[in-house]
Amino acid sequence: MNKLYRSRTDKMFLGICGGLAQFGKVDATAIRLIVVFLWVLTGFLPLLFTYLIAALFIPLEPGGIPTTPKRRLFRSQTDRKIAGVCGGLAQLFQIDSTLVRVIAIFLCALTGVFPFLLAYLLAWILIPLR
């Protein structure tokens, strides 16, 4: 049974994003980008409180747990309209890239253009090209 732990090895702050990535068998960069987007969307304090509460309740990974291979997030070279971010997310989650683009447009309208463009620009910079 797959259990949720805070990661000891794949962490930037408290290991929450790395643990969620290991739990979902995805790249931690994708989880971190979602967290950054939520941070821009909700403001700093609500997400900080949620993150700290999660750190209190999610146990630290035991030392001897073997890590399972996970999929990595890359920007797509073949399925790209602007920078390949939506195509890369679609490949990571194994869904149609049109659905990812429609969700992106919806989130852009929901959050306002500037927060979404900031998150997309960060994704463009942080996600490596395949």
What secondary structure does DSSP assign to 62-81, as a single string? PTTPPPPP-PPP-B-SSS-S
pLDDT tens digit sequence for 4-23: 898 888 888 888 998 988 88
User: Is position 65 within any domain?
Assistant: no
Domain that holds residue 29: 16-59+71-126
The Cα 77–Cα 79 span in angstroms is 6
Using a cut of 0.75, tell me whether the model's pTM lies above it: no
User: Is position 4 within any domain?
Assistant: no
Determine the Cα angle at 121 with ends 45 and 73, to 5°. 90
Phi, psi of 55 (to 5 degrees): -65, -30
User: Is position 10 within any domain?
Assistant: no
User: Is position 31 within any domain?
Assistant: yes
Segment holding 11, helix H or strand E = none
Rounded average pLDDT over 68-75: 75
pLDDT tens digit sequence for 102-129: 988 888 888 778 888 888 888 888 888 8
User: Is position 94 within any domain?
Assistant: yes
Instruction: Name the average pLDDT for the chain.
Output: 84
Total domains, the chain? 1
User: Is position 1 within any domain?
Assistant: no
